[in-house]
Amino acid sequence: MGHSGGGFLEGSDCLYDQLMEIQSWAGELLEEDHFSKAMPEDTFVFFMHQGYQLNFFGLDEGEDPPVYYYLEENPVRTSFSQIYPRFSDFLLTEMNGHIDIHTRWSLSKKLTDVGCLRK
């Protein structure tokens, strides 16, 4: 996703210099969880969050492929879940969420600064 997110997707591994490592981290997570399925060979893991969640797509699924998801939980999942029909939907959802949080934080700060909210 680039070399810096400027706060976008903070706490997640998804930047350019992390992409090679998260391919192996994903396999380690599934192995540690005793997940019964292997990652498909054509899989590209583009996102990991805090070492317990990963998102990926298949390299042969087109220019804007569906996004699949794995979350470490108990009991252990039995399959990957498709969470977005397109990679662009993942990006738009995450960007809109980031904008919404930033907007609310900015508004709260302004209201606090003018005395409408307590610190």
pLDDT digits (tens, 9 = 90+) for 8-63: 444 555 555 677 788 888 888 888 888 888 888 899 898 887 667 899 999 999 99
pLDDT for residue 103: 60
Q: What is the pLDDT of the chain when averaged over all its residues?
A: 75
Given a contact cutoff of 8 angstroms between Cβ atoms, the answer to whether 81 and 99 are in contact is no
Closest to 31 (Cα-Cα) out of 43, 39, 40: 39
Q: Say which amino acid occupies 69.
A: Y
pLDDT for residue 8: 43
CA dihedral 104, 107, 113, 114 (to 10 degrees): -140
Confidence of residue 101 (pLDDT cuts 50, 70, 90): low
CA–CA separation, 65 and 43 (whole Å): 11
Q: Is the pTM of this model over 0.85?
A: no
6 pLDDT above the threshold of 80: no
Closest to 78 (Cα-Cα) out of 68, 70, 67, 86: 70
Closest to 51 (Cα-Cα) out of 75, 32, 77, 76: 32
